[in-house]
Amino acid sequence: MNIFIRKIAHEDAAAITALSHQLGYSLSPEQILQNMTAVMANKDHDAFVAVHEKKIIGWIGVSNAIQIESLPFCEIRGLVVDEEYRKKGVGKMLMEKAKHWCKEKGNNMVRLRCNVKRTDASLFYRHLGFKETKEQKVFELNLDG
Ligand SMILES: CC(C)(COP(=O)(O)OP(=O)(O)OC[C@H]1O[C@@H](n2cnc3c(N)ncnc32)[C@H](O)[C@@H]1OP(=O)(O)O)[C@@H](O)C(=O)NCCC(=O)NCCS
């Protein structure tokens, strides 16, 4: 299969929206485009798509994280491969691109968070050499009440 990886572009918004729905996020194409535009404008963020015969079949987001208490690291912000294209090496290609981006930023540590319900994704990350370091809970507060 002839697949290549490139940076996201505005015209990818509809495809990225559909893939994000597969990931379980229900934002509209307009909201996704707004987020993509913010990512593209920020030097500490980036995102890439996998393309097969002009079709977007996966995407990955990555950022540079700076925290007071930790050494700098890069974080995978989102990753999904189209259901019809899984287990064909696409996720690994996207991860390789993100790893390359991290190295270009001078960073040699990659971190990611994965919902404990995503057992397949956990197996995938372990297979790629990621080590589980901790479990966390996520807390949110809506400031509009
Ligand atoms: C997780 C996901 C991105 C993996 O992408 P993929 O394209 O199917 O994975 P690949 O084909 O690139 O797999 C790369 C390697 O991991 C292995 N692998 C993939 N899924 C695996 C699994 N569930 N269990 C064990 N190994 C797995 C592959 O066999 C392959 O091994 P190899 O390199 O030795 O041949 C994809 O399944 C997906 O989009 N899942 C739904 C969304 C999701 O959960 N995203 C992660 C959010 S944290």
**What local confidence, expressed as pLDDT, does residue 118 receive?**
96
- At residue 49, what is the residue type? V
Could you tell me the residue ranges of all domains in the chain?
A: 3-113
**What local confidence, expressed as pLDDT, does residue 69 receive?**
95
* Strand 110-112 with 73-81, pairing: parallel
Give the atom of ligand 1 at the shortest distance from the alpha carbon of 76. Answer: 48
**What local confidence, expressed as pLDDT, does residue 29 receive?**
96
What is residue 110's DSSP assignment? E
Rounded to whole angstroms, the Cα distance separating 37 from 28 reads 14
**What local confidence, expressed as pLDDT, does residue 145 receive?**
81
Question: What 3-state class would DSSP assign to 23?
Answer: helix
The residue behind tokens 């015969």 is 53
Task: Assess whether the C-beta atom of 121 lies below 6 angstroms from ligand 1.
Answer: yes
Give the atom of ligand 1 at the shortest distance from the alpha carbon of 93. Answer: 12
pTM over 0.85: yes
How far does the centroid of ligand 1 lie from the alpha carbon of residue 144, in Å? 38
Q: Does domain 3-113 have CATH number 3.40.50.620?
A: no
How far does the centroid of ligand 1 lie from the alpha carbon of residue 119, in Å? 11
- At residue 92, what is the residue type? K
Task: Assess whether the C-beta atom of 127 lies below 6 angstroms from ligand 1.
Answer: yes
**What local confidence, expressed as pLDDT, does residue 2 receive?**
95
Proportion of the chain above pLDDT 70, given as a percent: 100
**What local confidence, expressed as pLDDT, does residue 1 receive?**
84
Helix, strand, coil % over all residues of the chain, rounded to 5: 35, 25, 40
- Burial pattern 92-107, b for ≥16 Cβ within 10 A else e, equals ebbbebbbebbeebeb
The DSSP line for 48-90 is: EEEEETTEEEEEEEEEEE--TTS--EEEEEEEEE-GGGTTSSH
**Segments in the chain below pLDDT 70:** none
**What local confidence, expressed as pLDDT, does residue 88 receive?**
97
